[in-house]
Amino acid sequence: MDGIDIIKDKCVGCKACFVACPYGAIEFVEKKAVITDKCTLCGACKESCRFSAIVSEMDYRQGSDLSRYEGMWVFAEQRYGKLKPVSLELLGKARELAARLNAKVTSVLFGYNIGFLARDLIAYGADQVLMMDEEWLGDFNDRIYGELITNLVKEHKPEIVLVGATSKGRSLAPYISSSLKTGLTADCTGLSIDDEGLLVQTRPAFGGNLMAEIVCPHNRPQMATVRPKVFKPLEPDYEKRGIITRIQKEPIEGLVKLIRNIDNAEGQSLTDAEIIVSVGRGIGSAANIRLAGELADALGGVLASSRPLVDMGWMPYSRQVGQTGKTVAPRIYIACGISGAIQHLAGLADIDTIIAINQDPEAPIFKVANYGIVADVKEFLPLLTEKIKQAKKA
Amino acid sequence: MKIIVCIKQVPGTNEVKTDPVTNTIIRENIPAILNPFDAYAIEEAVRIKERRGAFIYGISMGIPAAREVLREALALGIDKGILMTDRKFAGADTLATAYTLSKGIERIGDFDLIICGRQATDGDTAQVGPSLARTLNITCATDISRIIEIKNKEMHCLKITDDGYEEILVKLPALITVVKEINMPRLPSIKGMKLARRAEIDIVRFDDIKADENRTGLKGSPTRVRKVFVPVHQVETSMIEGTLEEKAQKLSELLLSMGMEVK
Amino acid sequence: MDGDFKQVYGEYLRDESRQVGWAESIAFPRTEAEIISNLKEMSRKKIPVTSQGARTGLAASAVPYGGYIINLSKMNKVTGARYDEKEDRFFLTLQPGVLLSDLRKYIANKSFDVTGWDIESLHALKFMEKGKWFYSTDPTESSASMGGIASCNASGARSYKYGSARDHITGLRVVLADGDVLALKRGKCLASGDEFSLITEKGREIKGRLPKYKMPDVRKNTSGYYNKPGMDMIDLFIGSDGTLGIISEIEIELSKTSPVNWGITIFMPDEDKALDLVRALRREIKVAGIDLNLNPSAVEFFSHKALKLLRERQKTSAFSNIQELKDTYHTAIYVEIECSLDDEAWKEVEKLGDVINALGGDEGETWLAYNSVNLEKLHDFRHACPECVNLQIDIIKKSNPGITKLGTDMSVPDDKLKDVMIMYNEGIEENKLDGVIFGHIGNNHLHVNIIPRNMDEYEKGKDLFLLWAEKVAAMGGAVSAEHGVGKLKVPFLKKMYSEEEINEMRRLKKIFDPAQILNRGTIFEYVEGQ
């Protein structure tokens, strides 16, 4: 089997690899593990083997001279003059990583009439801002922005490029990484630098309760997208000095034309909420969701949802908390009837207090909750709401 | 109109449990299924075909068993299924996958539109669509929630964003990724399955495409999974006990003591 | 009644029938011994007792009208297992408060709390292959208790292939009103002709004569006491709605799962063709010479109006995950099949397509689910129907709080299917009511739901149901197919059986519960001394 092999002599038939494989690609022939053609070379088996019986032949290609790449870049996303908070959060993280690498942090800023934002970028951690301020850059366009950044990267050779995993970031980042034929890891929940100076990108994986550590050893820049609220921004320091460079280039043709924006109405957003009441499958039916809504109202909080309810059409995607939804950092998060699958937990950033209510005492959510209650949410929520209302009246 | 739909076969469940003793995943006989997002892509392609006529190719990169999802796609109304399968494709990250698919698409020839599901439920990266578009050097529009009108050289669509929606004009040929809001996928019918079971699926191997073997599979993947682990959570959980009534009382007191501001 | 009791235990005065009763006290026994001591005390004081499981019943059996409540919800353990190696049969012993949904989870995950299990049970558990077994009785309300399921002989869609609760209950322990216990094992206590004799655990003999009435010849029946010459006496207690004793333990037999589980929703262009399809599936008729051997586990029906209601509701988000119902979809038949090989299933499904075409339908207007993800979508569709009705009722209730859902639960013999459909349709139309019909058509058991738009229609609906009960009885059908007679359907039972025959049931009850303290008003009205 190309890529991953079982050393028969070392295999004791303990089946740890069989259990670890997310694709069911391991069988046992005469008590020894055999990898079938369902294998996708993910490497989970190798990790699980305590007898060093699984090896992978990673092809160590000689990439181009990697030592010429240095610097941490953060794409600063702005919309009509307002910076997206995720960019500031990434600047903070970039500073931390840059310290380990002894590197500088550069922020890339595009837009129209946005020059004043460069000061903020420096205050939040950038040493340098590469800026383009043109009318034809007023609206985001993945191809235009992507081409420009790709060329800047080729010119300046940063070692690491971070992009916020917003809807725009998620189409911008792959444009750049594909153009540069380098690696990109989406929705990282953790970033660190290892002893070899490699960027270690951590994210939930295999559609299950596992985490994966991903690296990009031979290609540069190493690219990652990170969801809002995963990291915290630094306290801004407007005394900090930095270099602002304005770049001018020939306009580039976009292939998508924006006709008009249809913006959502302003409402209390999930990402700013102090108290969130979140519902999962345990709520039972669409009609019961109002029970959680009533609790949220009584507490002055916001209603949110785990992914299954959104998939079923009971809640809108804008309320989804989790790896593919929003990351939230309220003071108090009340998870009602949510099992606690890893993708949901990925949406919970640093929260002061997590309270979990679930009928199943074995639900994984109890491992991360500060307070737990084993109860049927359909029965418990109205009781709780009543008590809160009564107590407030008193 | 020539449409290509990218299809992936994924493990059937997101509810993989972990064994608390060995700290490894408990994987049971989870049958593989069509990536749920791809069902929306297939459905949209079939609707376009029903509205104005089209020839739909379904292309998938995967293990031999992935032909089952192509068969399902045929039952739903696509016209031709193509499976790209080869050991040399295995272990691919999103870049290598996009490259390999691009070679398969080159082999098909000219096309007007490529439709992809937004993401695959096993990786959840949502990267293959845009990477493939870039590799093919065509227009890319992600998160499409409605195709309003298809004109000769361009398509009028609605795109979902963090802030709401954008109405956009997309130059053809293009690749779009679609979100669940776009339609309600149909289930295959008996008629469709009868046709699908008799249809032949094109198998495309490494040697059938003029590819660079350093860009496919594990070799062509700049990112590597270095480690897979079960996260350890270190939280002290206090369980609130008592009758339902008592639990509600205690929690209510707890919440109010945390300084809930009455509205 | 004590105001405090109502405040603290208010929820125990009602069940899913929405009737509300009253009571003086409630007990939650944890063991059979506690049930016995409770009952002995009530018996002594001559206080009527109502037994309750999870209170999901629709016929108000669990609703108390005075006296004490004995609620079995705290007896919720699976207490043992038994494996017959020779015959490859698996059995579980459980307490009456075990919920169906929990039981399903335990079996599916093979995760039982084995504290207190004896060695044989632990040994038997070792033989239980995970995924090989399931419990086939499938009433829609999965939060029902096993005691309740046994008491009303519940069943669901799978009854077409698997029968009802009694077909999978092999043992019962019943606590009688005087505190004595009957331990019944299937096959060990048969009546001899119409005479029966049972020995209680204390050694007392209870003997008597079976009633003379004949039960209707239908698969799904839970109207009054089971009665057949030479019957197994355990069947008397199954479906007895708690009137003969309180069940303290049940032994159930599990069924084997099949590797292939598919679902198909078929849309036929009119109701008559849909009924013909059902008859073809049942092998009652042969269409175009095709020998259809599908052997379905369930055959369900959705009327034109039911689809129309769903179609309208699809526009709201609650049902946005249901497949789109084209305007050409008139009436729907849903079939589930189980078999061992994919190829086998494909062959039969292709034949089914030919039959549909031959009947004037279109095999393109079908939804085929051959994996569990899509099967769940079809299940959602199936559940959406009654949910839709409930939603409609909720809306109407806002302006007419006295209105509740009106639904029938009657079944008829196979050859009366078309007649009963005509009867339902004419009844609804003549009275200008708004009604949808759906249900287990495989067993000719349809739920006709009237959605009353005002109190006048509500009363008309109730009258219509009584009239139908009479006609259904005349057709040789059952007035209660799966919900039990409870208290609400007592008038219906009177249409099925004569005064004399109902007195025979009373007589039978008196043998087991002389003071008539158990579940008064259930199955028949309580008449002092009779």
- Give the model's confidence band at C318: pLDDT under 50 very low, under 70 low, under 90 confident, else very high: low
Is some CB atom of chain C closer than 8 A to the CB atom of A314?
yes
Percent of the residues in chain A that have a pLDDT greater than 70, as a whole number: 95
Q: Which of A46-55, B224-233, C298-307 has the lowest mean pLDDT?
A: B224-233
Give domain limits for chain C: 1-189+232-257, 260-474
Which site among B29, B42, B189 would you substitute to test the C interface, given the most C Cβ atoms closer than 10 Å to its Cβ? B189
- Going through chain B in order, the beta strands assigned E by DSSP cover 2-7, 9-11, 17-18, 25-26, 32-34, 55-61, 80-84, 113-117, 139-150, 154-161, 164-171, 174-178, 202-204, 224-229, 238-239
Q: Do C318 and A311 touch (CB under 8 A)?
A: no
Q: What is the mean pLDDT of residues C126-155?
A: 91
Max Cα-Cα span within chain B? 70
- Which chain A residues are within 8 Å of B143, Cβ to Cβ? 167, 171
- Give the model's confidence band at A211: pLDDT under 50 very low, under 70 low, under 90 confident, else very high: confident
Is some CB atom of chain A closer than 8 A to the CB atom of C321?
yes
- Give the model's confidence band at C317: pLDDT under 50 very low, under 70 low, under 90 confident, else very high: low
Pairing of strands A26-29, A32-35: antiparallel
Q: Which of B107-111, C383-387, C470-474 has the lowest mean pLDDT?
A: C383-387
Which site among A83, A198, A206, A275 would you substitute to test the B interface, given the most B Cβ atoms closer than 10 Å to its Cβ? A206
From the list A285, A311, A314, which residue is nearest C317 (CB)? A314
Q: From the CA of C99, how many Å to the nearest CA of chain A? A: 13
- Which chain A residues are within 8 Å of C101, Cβ to Cβ? none
- Which chain A residues are within 8 Å of C321, Cβ to Cβ? 311-313
pLDDT at B202 over 90: yes
Question: Which pLDDT score is estimated for A267?
Answer: 61
pLDDT mean across residues, chain B: 89
- Which chain B residues are within 8 Å of C321, Cβ to Cβ? 184
Q: Record the pTM.
A: 0.82
pLDDT one-digit tens code per residue, C379-426: 888 888 888 888 788 788 888 887 887 889 999 999 999 999 999 999
Q: Do C317 and A313 touch (CB under 8 A)?
A: yes
Q: Which residues of B touch C (CB under 8 A)?
A: 12, 28-29, 31, 33, 36, 75, 184, 186-194, 197
Which CATH code is given to the segment(s) C1-189+232-257?
3.30.465.10
pLDDT one-digit tens code per residue, C99-138: 998 999 899 888 898 999 999 999 999 989 888 999 999 9
Q: What CATH number does domain C260-474 carry, 3.10.20.30, 2.60.40.3500, 3.40.50.740, 3.30.70.2190? A: 3.30.70.2190
Identify which of A93, A91, A94, A72 has the alpha carbon closest to the alpha carbon of residue A83.
A91
Distances (CA, A) of C127 to A59, A187, A288, C118, C119: 47, 45, 41, 15, 13
Closest residue on chain C to A315 (Cα) = C317
- Which chain C residues are within 8 Å of B193, Cβ to Cβ? 346, 349, 368, 370
More confident residue, C253 or A345: C253
- Which chain A residues are within 8 Å of B16, Cβ to Cβ? 22, 206-210
pLDDT one-digit tens code per residue, A298-353: 988 999 999 888 877 788 888 888 877 788 888 899 999 998 877 788 788 778 88
Question: Which pLDDT score is estimated for C16?
Answer: 83
Percent of the residues in chain A that have a pLDDT greater than 90, as a whole number: 55
Helix axes B128-136, A169-180, angle to 10 degrees: 50
Q: Do C391 and A285 touch (CB under 8 A)?
A: no
Q: What is the mean pLDDT of residues B80-95?
A: 93
From the list C320, C387, C391, which residue is nearest A313 (CB)? C320
Question: Which pLDDT score is estimated for A268?
Answer: 63
Which CATH code is given to the segment(s) B2-215?
3.40.50.620
Question: Which pLDDT score is estimated for B262?
Answer: 39
C278: CB partners within 8 A, 6+ apart? C299, C301, C333, C417, C441, C442
pLDDT mean across residues, chain C: 91
Is some CB atom of chain C closer than 8 A to the CB atom of A311?
yes
How many C-beta atoms lie closer than 10 Å to residue A229's C-beta? 21
Strand partners, B57: B4, B80
pLDDT at A52 over 90: no
Q: Could you check whether the bond before residue A316 is cis, i.e. omega within 30 degrees of 0?
A: no
**Structure-token match 């939650």, residue found:** C28
Which tokens in the block code for residue B103?
A: 């070679």
The sign of the torsion formed by the CA atoms of C3, C5, C8, C10 equals negative
- Give the model's confidence band at A58: pLDDT under 50 very low, under 70 low, under 90 confident, else very high: low
**Fold identical between C1-189+232-257 and C260-474?**
no
Question: Which pLDDT score is estimated for B263?
Answer: 35
Which site among B37, B162, B243 would you substitute to test the A interface, given the most A Cβ atoms closer than 10 Å to its Cβ? B162
Which tokens in the block code for residue C40?
A: 């002995």
Which site among A312, A362, A374, A378 would you substitute to test the C interface, given the most C Cβ atoms closer than 10 Å to its Cβ? A312
Q: Do B193 and C321 touch (CB under 8 A)?
A: no
Is some CB atom of chain A closer than 8 A to the CB atom of C316?
no
pLDDT one-digit tens code per residue, B12-63: 764 555 555 544 455 555 678 899 899 999 999 999 999 999 999 999 999 9
pLDDT one-digit tens code per residue, C6-56: 777 888 888 888 788 999 999 999 999 999 999 999 999 999 999 999 999
Is some CB atom of chain A closer than 8 A to the CB atom of C468?
no
Give domain limits for chain B: 2-215, 233-263
